[in-house]
């Protein structure tokens, strides 16, 4: 459906902490760069979608307003960690349907440090101690360790992998390597998750210009799939964070549902991928995502970690950007940040972290709601 949509331009405001700079100002920076990259200006686009969970009322209007670009339809999109993927999906669908030929997509966020406070949880749940996000991550991590034969050492290896990749990403919040020992001796937050195993909520923005492919430059990456799915009911450890559930093995998770849709839309499968950017909110989350996306079988994670298959220079680099564990996670910007990374790689502009010969890449987010997004980009050649 989306084979005729191109990623015509990309822009990024670095992820980190920027005191005195608003989320909207960061969004304007990223969007301005993306429009320059696509060689478009006012009058060349027909709509804009702004992904944010905490930006507040009319965030997209504030971003476009800062650049004198208002007047077109501007819609804010909130889907937790999948907000960027959701905005991209809406924009791509509108182009594929012939409603628009060029759409701006921008993701912004400005979050404090520490545990995220979310209106998803009612005040009584906060008072009862039932709103501790990392605790739910920890419960899921324990389940993963039980069912996939993993230990705390494997969680540490995953962090080492992503942080070693992040060294080559100047737009990441953390640019230093860590050792497994440092990870395993960092402060315990919720057993088995320690501080260095959790990504940092932070600040940043990312933007993408989508165009009908015949209007975009010949070398621009194609959007092969931009899928969004929500959870099926019944799982107690899903990101929907229910108070109860009945089954956690027989219910297909939203990441798998979105991936299945994406394989069908894009006409590719896991074996066709050259790189993956995926949700590593915590170390266990990425290890579970590998399985949920069909990148590995149950229990294969330990061997893949040991052999470096999904590490820098491996057969399928996962989170070559450093992942959220290096970049931090500005919710509304994180998914589009992944898409910017894929586009850079497919354009051969990955610098020191370039994946050689990258032709097809997948971006994945999963978050509160629960919503999962899976986006697949391919070079114009790969798109056929």
Partner 1 sequence: MSSGTPPPIVGGLFRVDSDGLTLLGGRSQSSGLTHFPLQPVCPYTGADDVEPIDLPRTGELWQCTEVRAAPPGYSGPVPYGLGVVELDDGLRVVGRVKADSPAELAGGTPMTVVAETVTDAHGNDCTVWAFAEVAP
Binding site for partner 1 (CB under 8 A): 114-117, 121-124, 126-135, 138-139, 142-143, 146, 187-192, 233-234, 236-237, 242-246, 248
Q: Which of 346, 211, 205, 213 is nearest to 274 (CA)?
A: 346
| Nearer CB in complex with partner 1: 117/347 | 117
Which secondary structure element, helix H or strand E, spans residue 104, and what is its range? strand 102-110
Nearer to partner 1, 245 or 348 (CB): 245
Interatomic CA distance for residues 262 and 229, integer angstroms: 11
Cα Rg, the chain, nearest whole Å: 19
Residue whose CB is less far from partner 1, 122 or 264: 122
Rounded CA separation 194/188 (Å): 4
Residue 195 C-beta: closest distance to partner 1, Å? 10
* Residue appearing with tokens 């942080």: 163
Q: How far is CA 378 from the centre of its chain?
A: 17
Closest to partner 1 by CB, 68 vs 129, is 129
What is the closest distance, in whole angstroms, from the C-beta atom of residue 197 to partner 1 in the complex?
13
Query: Is the Cβ of residue 245 or residue 267 nearer to partner 1 in the bound state?
Result: 245
Q: How far apart are CA 209 and CA 223, in angstroms?
A: 11
Distance in Å, CB of 258 to partner 1, minimum: 21
Q: Shortest distance, CB of residue 319 to partner 1, whole angstroms?
A: 25
Exposed (0-12), middle (13-18) or buried (19+): which is 167, by Cβ within 10 Å? middle
- Nearest approach in angstroms of CB 242 to partner 1 is 8
Backbone angles phi, psi at 227, to 5 degrees: -110, 145
Can you give the three-state secondary structure of 158-215, one letter per residue? Answer: HHHHHHHHHCCCCCCCCCCCCCHHHHHHCCEEECCEEHHHECCECEEEEEEEEEEHHH
Q: Which is nearer to partner 1, 187 or 352 (CB)?
A: 187
**Distance (Å, rounded) from C-alpha 237 to C-alpha 348?**
39
Least Å distance between CB 83 and partner 1? Answer: 20
Residue closer to partner 1, measured from CB, 41 or 128: 128
Q: Which is nearer to partner 1, 132 or 180 (CB)?
A: 132
Judged by beta carbon, residue 8 or residue 193, the one nearer partner 1 is 193
Minimum separation from the CB atom of position 245 to partner 1 (A): 5
Is the preceding peptide bond at 29 cis, omega within 30 degrees of 0? no
Smallest gap from residue 113 Cβ to partner 1 (A): 12
The answer to whether residues 279 and 81 touch, using CB atoms and an 8 Å cutoff, is yes
Give the 3-state DSSP-derived string for 45-94, with helices as H, strands as E and coil as C. CCEEEEECCCCCCCHHHHHHHHCCCECECEEEECECECHHHHHHHHHHHH
Contact 359, 378 (CB under 8 A): yes
DSSP state of 341: H
Shortest reach from residue 130's CB to partner 1, in Å = 7
329 cis-preceded (ω within 30 degrees of 0):
no
Task: In angstroms, give the least distance from the CB of 281 to partner 1.
Answer: 15
Q: Which is nearer to partner 1, 97 or 244 (CB)?
A: 244
**Residues 53 and 344: beta-carbon distance below 8 Å:** no
């Amino acid at each position: 459906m989306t084979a005729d949509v191109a990623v015509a331009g990309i822009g990024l405001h670095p992820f980190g902490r920027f005191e005195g700079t608003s989320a909207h100002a960061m969004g304007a920076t990223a969007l301005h760069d993306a429009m320059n990259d696509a060689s478009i200006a006012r009058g060349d686009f027909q709509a804009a979608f702004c992904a944010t969970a905490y930006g507040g009322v009319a965030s997209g209007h504030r971003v476009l307003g800062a650049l004198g670009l208002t007047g077109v339809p501007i819609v804010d999109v909130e889907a937790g960690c999948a907000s960027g993927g959701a905005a991209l999906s809406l924009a791509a669908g509108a182009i594929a349907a012939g409603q628009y030929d060029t759409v701006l997509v921008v993701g912004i966020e400005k979050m404090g440090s520490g545990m995220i406070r979310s209106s998803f949880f009612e005040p009584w749940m906060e008072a009862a101690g039932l709103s501790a996000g990392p605790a739910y991550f920890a419960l899921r991590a324990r389940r993963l360790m039980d069912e996939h034969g993993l230990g705390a050492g494997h969680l540490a290896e995953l962090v080492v992998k992503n942080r070693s990749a992040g060294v080559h990403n100047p737009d990441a919040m953390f640019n230093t390597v860590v050792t497994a020992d440092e990870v395993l001796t960092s402060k315990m937050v919720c057993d088995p998750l320690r501080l260095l195993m959790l990504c940092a909520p932070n600040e940043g923005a990312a933007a993408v210009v989508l165009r009908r492919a015949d209007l975009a430059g010949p070398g621009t990456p194609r959007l092969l799939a931009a899928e969004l799915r929500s959870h099926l009911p019944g799982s107690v450890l899903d990101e929907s964070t229910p108070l109860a559930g009945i089954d956690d093995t027989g219910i297909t998770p939203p990441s798998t549902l979105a991936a299945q849709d994406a394989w069908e839309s894009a006409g590719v499968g896991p074996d066709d991928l050259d790189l993956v950017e995926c949700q590593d909110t915590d170390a266990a989350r990425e290890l579970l995502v590998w399985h949920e996306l069909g990148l590995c079988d149950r229990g294969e994670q330990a061997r893949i970690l040991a052999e470096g298959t999904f590490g820098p220079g491996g057969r399928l680099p996962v989170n070559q950007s450093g992942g959220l564990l290096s970049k931090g996670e500005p919710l509304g910007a994180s998914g589009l940040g992944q898409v910017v990374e894929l586009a850079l790689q497919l354009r051969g502009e990955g610098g020191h972290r370039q994946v050689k010969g990258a032709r097809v890449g997948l971006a994945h987010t999963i978050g509160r709601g629960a919503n999962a997004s899976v986006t697949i980009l391919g070079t114009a050649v790969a798109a056929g």
